[in-house]
Amino acid sequence: MSKQFAASNSWVILSDLLQREGVARQHLNSYNEFVTRGLQNIADEINEVEIETVSTPYKVKFGRVTLGSPRVVEIDGSVSSILPMESRLRNLTYSAPILLEMTIEEEGLPRDTTRQHIGDLPVMVKSELCQLSNRSREQLIESGEDPNDPGGYFIIHGAERVIVGLEDLSPNKILVDAEKLAGATTYKSRVYSSVVGYRSKLELTLKQDGGINVKIPSCPVDLPYVIVMRALGIKSDRDIANAVSPKQEIQDLLEVSFDKASEAPTEKDALVYIGNRVAHGMLEEFRVKRALSTLDWGLLPHLGKTEDRRFDKSMFMGEAACKLLELRLGWIEADDKDHYGNKVIKFAGQMLADLFRTAFRNLVRDMKYQLERTGQKRGGNVVGAAIRTGIITDKLNNAIATGNWGRGKVGVTQLLDRTNYLSTLSHLRRVQSPLSRSQPNFEARDLHATHFGRICPSETPEGVNCGLVKNLALSAIISVSVPSQEVEGKLWELGAKQIRDSDEKLQVEGCRIFMDGRFLGYVDDGERLAKAFRKLRREGQINPSASVLYISPVNDNAYPRIYISLSSGRVLRPLVVVESGRPLLNPEMISKVSGGQSAWRDLVDQGTIELIDANEEENCLVAMGPEDVTTRNSHMELFPAAMFGIAASIIPYPEHNQSPRNTYESAMAKQSLGFSSPTYPISPHVRQHLLVSPQAPVVRTRTLDLLKIDERPLGTNCVVAVLSFEGYNIEDAIIMNKSSVERGMARSFFYRLYDGEAKQYLGGMRDTFEVPSAESNIRGYRGEKFYRLLEGDGVVAHESQVAGGDVVIGRTSPPRFMEEYKEFEIKGPYRRDTSVAVRPSEAGVVDSIFMTENVEGGKMFKVRVRDMRVPEIGDKFASRHGQKGVIGLVVPQEDMPYTAEGIVPDVIINPHAFPSRMTVGQFIESIAGKAAAFRGSPVDGSAFAGESIDEMEKVLRGRGFEPTGREVMYDGKTGKKFATDVFVGVVYYQKLHHMVADKIHARARGQVQMLTKQPTEGRARGGGLRFGEMERDCLIAYGASMVLKDRLLDEADKTEIYVCERCGLIAYYDAKQRKYTCKIDGDQAKISTVVVAYAFKLLLQEMMSLNIAPRLQLKDKV
């Protein structure tokens, strides 16, 4: 088999995978699971409420949860079904009603069953609940949607919000660690035990003296290990020691722990011991009770919270201590917290479940209170009346709208990035780590070997979030949870034994089996079991999402262990199964998939392809391609380039670049302008860009096809020469050909949406849309010329040219405080002008106007202004290799250098851009682009599998060009040949959204701040440019005192104040008496005028308000 097999053929499988699953599958799966099962589970958790009324108490039992379809309830109470586009345009929330069956049960007899609306659930676009989920391409277009939109986000009050994936430590896993502190090593064993709703951390520490301490969150002090074991109901010391390990070396290490537990030799004593610490000073009976509840609820809650789980907990505790001591003995290695097998990713479903649980509990509590207050009346209607739907609806909406999840969790949701199509896709595959960005966390930020194929190695931001914000690789698949019963059953069939059924020999020599944090039992041969498990999975008898890890320890004394994971949120990746040195994937299967007769799922079902999580991968030996497969291999890569994420996948020949360059490009691609969506004529985003003539790149990667970037491109193919040009392209500036610009290269539109709605106020008054008239005494009237473009309905005319300050929506509001006006103003109340005007620094043409009604029934206008942006000096551009630069000069074509063929470059970049950055990929792209132009077909530049440079050189040679891409060039100004040949080729350039038009700013005079009378800050407020401390230092050093005074006083906040020379305090001018007055010195005052900065005056007065008397001592200037 050749390289071609890996390169082109198995690619088909991955392509099929992404086409079918879509980019946002992880969000949709997670949300769908929440809707179909999660909601019901949460309702079942509570199950019923007892209504304790005086005479006959009754119960309300909860039944089935169902969901309606997305709809809006209008102000008049009418209900209509909505689509996402309507929600976006009308600022609505795309949500569906949650209906819960409630049965009233009196004296054990069910009486009345009703379905009650308990609140609205925001609907994830394209989830099963969404109206769009099973529409065809044509139907989607009909519904006003982009057929390529991946979905996976919510629409709250018209804004698209994504719940980004949240990386978390795997729950219920025992992780052991050796910490070196000041020479001494402490060994720790930690478990984050999580059940729905909360988590509890258990920590076992091996002290310096050899004793083991246990830390549980609900207990303020550490407890001796053996006491906890006794309290859990293990009576004999022998059993406790055997629970840890029957091996002698381990039991020897336990001796100290037993000594330390001598003060509580029995179960009762142990419980009292714990009780003394959790409920100090209470009755003994009560202390024991508290101790038991601490053990049931605070210790390893994932194993259950009831009495009968204590045995399981003691066995789990045994294992925790066993791993700890095995680590101490050097039998096993410390666990790696950053191993991706120890991580899970939480998506929308899990996040919403947390939120819904608290909201639902609040609702039930409120309902109980209402019903108990209502008293004797009962029945479906009464229950219905007691439900305040807002509790759930508002909680969910607010959380998603603000990203505020409660308990300090902020930034959980983000506004969906619609800069271009690629940035949207990338945003939907983002993963955030909850680790603090202010701490270094070096290891957590590092790329880990287990990220391969799961997390993109390139796409991460620079700076504080580096390595904490990640992006899923193309091949990453997020596991869905697998029901444990059936898998457990299979294990028993395969010869696993429960702990109680394991004889001593098995307990000593066997392999311990764990399933999702539960200690299941033992098996004699773990490796055999793992193999058999995999066999069953390949045969389709076990869910493909289930994974098994067999660990054979470094030292034979330690236990071998098997870990079976069934949980959701693990990152899997598809690999081709290799059996006895031969990959099971054959060309026939591939052609079936490419022909559409079968799907990648079928290959998984038949065991050709396996989904492997980071843990199981420890048991695999993966070959990079068919040519590398040996008999030792268990798996083979599907397509190596799938190790990249969305953004890095657009880079041609990335394997030839220095790696940070790919990282830079991954960040920049998300800022490039393109064709973000075919819905652009009605897209209701506040800011939006559109590239006028976008092009599909001629040097491509296969991922571009897959992601349909060709249909939503984000750049232009440019002829690029590498040449210095009169110094105008130093420091990464680029030269652009004026003719290219005039012919329309990199032209874009910028859209800004202005909206105004008519609010209703108390007392029946409301805003009106109108042209504010000069005659009707309107407060804040701007002047006639600002309203000139408004039509009769108070809104600007379509296609009219607007500039900064021009009103686009004319609106007046009723006076704010009615009474106040009546008293003081003769003319009666004024209406206020609350018109919406174009931003002061922007201009454009009125592009589209939307008139609609918001959910409160108020009329609403949205006006979109477009502005054409022709490339100009200072606009930012970048190639696909992290080579960014601003236009330094736009050069007339006749001045530009030309080749013998008459080719004039579109762009000239400086040769200094290359040596230190080593973006060899750009050279190859340049040559490949040139070859593509000659041969008339695009070049495949996919990572590791692109067309070879030799191929490109052949094309160039065939056309009589240098294979190096260098050409003779002439100076356009003189007609002289350049002394050296120039490297010219075709490179795909992206226009980034940092444009001079959005940033240009200057100020002569302008607004000042109210408090300090200093110039305002920022372009939007016409602010000044700060003359800061360092600038001040320069003037002082230079001795330019006049300039210094001019900048910092005369042209800033110069003020005159009156100072009484006698008392040194501020005096004032009394206008009635026409004299300067000092309240302290009265007639004796000698008042002088002093010029100071207003900020200084403010300081004096602020000090006075703090009971400090700042006195100025004045002296004449000599």
Partner 1 sequence: MKVLEDSGSSVALQLEGIDRSYANAIRRFCIAEVPSMAIDDVVILENSSVLYDEILAHRLGMVPIRTDLERYNLPEECDCGNPLGCHKCRVLFVLDAKGKDKVMTVTSGDLVSEDRDVRPVSESIPLIKLAAGQSVKLEAYARLGRGKEHAKWQPCTVATLTDGKKEGVFILTVESAGGLPAKQVVLKAIELLEKKLKEIQVAVGGPD
The DSSP H or E segment spanning 721 is strand 716-722
Q: Which two tokens stand for residue 925?
A: 């792209």
**Cβ atoms < 10 Å from Cβ of 695:** 17
**Shortest separation between residue 733's beta carbon and partner 1, angstroms:** 22
Report the alpha-carbon angle 454-457-462, nearest 5: 130
Cβ nearer to partner 1, comparing 280 with 977: 977
- The distance of closest approach from Cβ of residue 900 to partner 1 in the complex, given in angstroms and rounded to an integer, is 5
In the block, tokens 């609820």 appear at 297
What value does the CA radius of gyration of the chain take, rounded to a whole number of Å? Answer: 36
Strands (E), 424-560: 430-432, 469-471, 477-478, 497-498, 511-515, 518-523, 547-551
The one-character DSSP state at 1047 is: I
- How far, CA to CA in Å, does 526 sit from each of 406, 517, 547, 548, 564? 44, 17, 14, 11, 12
Task: Please give the structure tokens belonging to residue 1086.
Answer: 């000698």
Q: What is the DSSP letter of 993?
A: S
Indicate if the alpha-carbon torsion angle 915, 918, 920, 922 is positive or negative.
Answer: negative
Task: State the number of binding residues for partner 1 (CB under 8 A).
Answer: 30
Binding to partner 1, residues 1086-1115 (CB under 8 A): none
Shortest distance (Å) from residue 845 CB to partner 1 = 8
Closest distance between partner 1 and the C-beta of residue 472, in Å? 35
902 forms part of the interface with partner 1 (CB under 8 A): yes
Using the rule CB under 8 A, which residue among 103, 893, 1014, 1088 binds partner 1?
893
State how far Cα 647 lies from the chain centre.
Answer: 15
Residues 6+ apart with CB under 8 A from 891: 725, 728, 735, 736, 737, 738, 908
Both tokens of residue 476? 């990453």
3-class DSSP state of 1115: coil
Identify which range of 23-31, 462-470, 894-902, 939-947 contacts partner 1 by CB under 8 A.
894-902
Task: Find the binder of partner 1 among 388, 866, 994, 1021 (CB under 8 A).
Answer: 866
- Separation between Cα atoms, residue 210 and residue 315, nearest integer Å: 21
Ranges within 972-1031 binding partner 1 (CB under 8 A)? 972-977
- How many angstroms separate the CA atoms of 528 and 381, rounded? 61
Q: Which is nearer to partner 1, 869 or 1097 (CB)?
A: 869
In the complex, the smallest distance separating the C-beta of residue 755 from partner 1, rounded to whole angstroms, is 21
**Is the dihedral angle over the CA atoms 910, 912, 917, 922 positive or is it negative?**
positive
C-alpha span between 167 and 434 (Å, rounded): 7
Nearer to partner 1, 627 or 901 (CB): 901
Query: Which CB sits closer to partner 1, 501 or 901?
Result: 901
Question: How far is residue 714 CA from its own chain's centroid?
Answer: 22
User: Is there a catalytic annotation at residue 732?
Assistant: yes
- Which among 59-67, 414-422, 558-566, 888-896 is the span making contact with partner 1, rule CB under 8 A? 888-896
> Cβ neighbours of residue 671 under 8 Å, at least 6 residues apart?
419, 423, 992, 993, 994
959 part of the interface to partner 1, by CB under 8 A: no
894 belongs to the binding site for partner 1 (CB under 8 A): yes
Interacting residues of 817 by C-beta distance below 8 A, sequence separation 6+: none
Q: Residue 896 Cβ, how far from partner 1 at the closest point, in Å?
A: 10
Q: Is 749 in the site for partner 1 (CB under 8 A)?
A: yes
800 binds partner 1 (CB under 8 A): no
The residue behind tokens 């106020």 is: 761
Q: Is 892 in the site for partner 1 (CB under 8 A)?
A: yes
User: Do 533 and 564 touch, CB atoms closer than 8 A?
Assistant: yes
Residues numbered 313-342 forming contacts with partner 1, rule: CB under 8 A: none
Q: How many CB atoms lie within 10 A of CB 661?
A: 24
Please say which residue, 839 or 973, places its beta carbon nearer to partner 1: 973
* Residue 738 in the binding site for partner 1 (CB under 8 A): yes
- Strand-pair partners of 515: 518, 564
Residue 976 or 1072 with smaller CB distance to partner 1: 976
Decide whether 843 or 1095 has the Cβ nearer to partner 1. Answer: 843
Per DSSP, helices labelled H in 510-608 are 526-538, 587-595, 600-605
Query: Are the CB atoms for 645 and 683 separated by under 8 Å?
Result: no
Closest to partner 1 by CB, 170 or 676: 676
Nearer to partner 1, 177 or 895 (CB): 895
Minimum separation from the CB atom of position 975 to partner 1 (A)? 3
In angstroms, give the least distance from the CB of 743 to partner 1. Answer: 5
Of 414 and 893, which has the nearer Cβ to partner 1?
893
Q: Which residues 831-850 are close enough to bind partner 1 by CB under 8 A?
A: 845, 847
Could you identify the residue written with the tokens 């330690």? 558
- The Cβ of residue 214 has, within 10 Å, a number of other Cβ atoms equal to 23
Q: Is 889 in the site for partner 1 (CB under 8 A)?
A: no
Question: Of 312-320, 405-413, 740-748, 989-997, which part binds partner 1 (CB under 8 A)?
Answer: 740-748
Distance in Å, CB of 977 to partner 1, minimum: 6
CA distance 543 to 710: 36
Binding to partner 1 (CB under 8 A) within 640-699 occurs at 681, 692
Asked if 911 interacts with partner 1 (CB under 8 A), we say no
Structure tokens at 393: 């609806």
309: number of CA atoms within 13 Å, CB side? 19
Residue 594 interacting with partner 1 (CB under 8 A): no
Binding residue (CB under 8 A) for partner 1 from 873, 900, 1042, 1043: 900
Check binding of 744 to partner 1 (CB under 8 A): yes
Pick the closer one to partner 1 by CB: 692 or 836.
692
Among 258, 297, 850, 898, binds partner 1 (CB under 8 A): 898
Member of 283, 797, 803, 868 binding partner 1 (CB under 8 A) = 868
Strand ranges (E), 8-142 = 48-51, 58-67, 71-73, 79-81, 95-106, 109-122
Of these residues, 239, 394, 705, 732, which one is catalytic?
A: 732
Nearer to partner 1, 661 or 747 (CB): 747
Between 766 and 959, whose beta carbon lies closer to partner 1?
Answer: 959
Instruction: Provide the minimum distance between the beta carbon of 909 and partner 1 in the complex, in angstroms, as a whole number.
Output: 21
| Residue 743 touching partner 1 (CB under 8 A) | yes
In this structure, are residues 755 and 836 in contact, taking their beta carbons and an 8 Å threshold? Answer: yes
Please choose, from the candidates 4, 1112, 10, 982, the residue with its C-alpha nearest in 3D space to the C-alpha of residue 578: 10
State the minimum distance, in angstroms, from the CB of residue 1017 to partner 1.
Answer: 35
- Give min distance, CB of 132 to partner 1, in A: 23
Give the footprint of partner 1 on residues 960-979 (CB under 8 A). 970, 972-977
Least distance in angstroms from the C-beta of 847 to partner 1:
8
Cβ atoms of 930 and 922 closer than 8 Å: no
Cβ neighbour number for residue 680 with a 10 Å cutoff? 16
- Let me know the angle formed at the C-alpha of 458 by 456 and 459, rounded to the nearest 5 degrees: 75
Binding stretches for partner 1 (CB under 8 A): 681, 692, 738-740, 742-744, 747, 749, 799, 845, 847, 866, 868, 892-894, 898-902, 970, 972-977
Q: Supply the residues annotated as catalytic.
A: 732
